[in-house]
Amino acid sequence: MIEVTSFPDRAFLERGVFRQSVNIEFRFRGISNEALELYDVAVDGFDDTDRLLFELPLDSFGLVPPILNVPERRMEPSSVLEIFNPLSDFPLDYPIHRLDYRFKFRGEKGGPVTCGVMLHPVVYPQKASLMLPFAGSCLVTEGHDLLTHHRRNFPFTHPLVKQIGITGNNSRFAYDFVLVDDKLRMYEDSPERNEDCFCWGKPVLCPGDGMVASAANDLEDNAFYTPPDFDVEAHLRDPEGSMAKHMGNHVIIDHGNGEFSMIAHMKRGSVKAVAGDKVAKGAMIGQVGTSGDSFFPHIHYQVQDEASLLSSEGLPSRFDMFDLIIGDKTRRIENSCPNTGMLIKHEP
């Protein structure tokens, strides 16, 4: 009665500093004549000998049921339901080889309808050597965990997403970085202008060697905490061009191996690279701004599997080296990725 698949096609196991995650989503196709509602999700983890490692539930018990973490749970007759994977994060020590997801739906006419999907997630074999695109200390205001907008940018059953023609979530593994001062502050007192933020105008560095696939440099910066208007008609008229404007002044770097870095929202007039230029790891490619879909100064960074902003899918990224700031101490992190909320330091 229900067919379930995961997407994107490749399930990557991303190993961070404290946790590992499988950043995929689920699509259900109902072939029932009645509406069904998802009320139970569970996942079992196994090692490479099929030994059970853990079982995690998300059920409908309690006065505020955990299943409410999945906001869209109703599947109309013969329709499609998509959900963001609510059981995606796991302790770092588990040697995960297989994940078995189980789902239970119920309707008005009968008992539960169950379905499931088996995954064998793998660590992404990153080819490019990447560094963080800044120097100094920063707050990772958003990574790409379940609660962040990066992961939730493109619900593919949304009418507007379908109209525009977006077929991949290129920001699935994106970051927003905000540079801070030596007291780890984003600004002093109450900011009113972009210039009041310590991040504003700071250098943005090339994360890895490659060739510029596309770039933009002449888009206006938005006033502090003044989000730009979302022009639906422009998106429908020129989807690829409008998505590029959405990223503001940006550079897309082709690393030559099916990996493309996107650095976005830079300051008007600060991007000197143009399509076809060779760029070197660590070189300055622009300055922090607020252009595009941005309303405070920050660096948006992501890796994707092609240059297109409509069809590309995000890829995990690991960085050569950075320091995790924990109170008055630091911890050296190598070949890993930061998470939302971390204070980190990078000295190239």
CA 59 distance to own-chain centroid: 26
pLDDT given at position 339: 95
Domain harbouring 34, CATH code: 2.60.40
Q: Are residues 110 and 153 in the same domain?
A: no
Do 178 and 312 belong to one domain?
A: yes
pLDDT in tens, the chain (348 residues): 799 999 999 999 999 999 999 999 999 998 778 899 999 999 999 999 999 999 999 999 999 999 999 999 999 988 999 999 999 999 999 999 999 999 999 988 777 899 999 999 999 999 999 999 999 999 999 999 988 999 988 888 888 888 889 999 999 999 999 999 999 999 999 999 999 999 999 999 999 999 999 999 999 999 999 978 777 788 788 989 988 999 999 999 999 999 999 999 999 999 999 999 999 999 999 999 999 999 999 999 999 999 999 999 999 999 999 999 999 999 999 999 999 999 999 999
pLDDT at 331: 97
The domain of 35 spans 2-119
Q: How many domains does the chain have?
A: 2
141 and 77 fall within a common domain: no
Q: Is residue 124 in some structural domain?
A: no
Helix spans in 153-252 (H): 159-164, 232-237, 239-246
pLDDT of residue 232: 75
The answer to whether the CB of 210 falls within 8 A of the CB of 261 is yes
pLDDT at res. 65: 96
Residue 125: inside a domain: no
Judge if 180 and 304 occupy the same domain: yes
Check whether residue 82 and residue 152 sit in a common domain.
no
Q: In this structure, is residue 146 part of a structural domain? A: yes
Residues 102 and 208 in one domain: no
24 located within any domain:
yes
In a domain, 48, yes or no: yes
| pLDDT attached to residue 345 | 98
End-to-end CA distance of the chain: give it in Å, rounded.
55
Identify the sign of the CA torsion 201, 207, 208, 213.
negative
Residue 207 makes CB contacts below 8 A (sequence gap 6+) with 130, 131, 132, 133, 253, 261, 263, 281, 301, 319
pLDDT at residue 229, as a whole number: 79
Dihedral sign for Cα 201, 207, 210, 213, please.
Answer: negative
Indicate if 95 and 202 belong to the same structural domain: no
Q: CA 302 to CA 141: how far, in whole Å? A: 14
Tokens of 49: 């000998």
CATH number at residue 279: 2.70.70.10
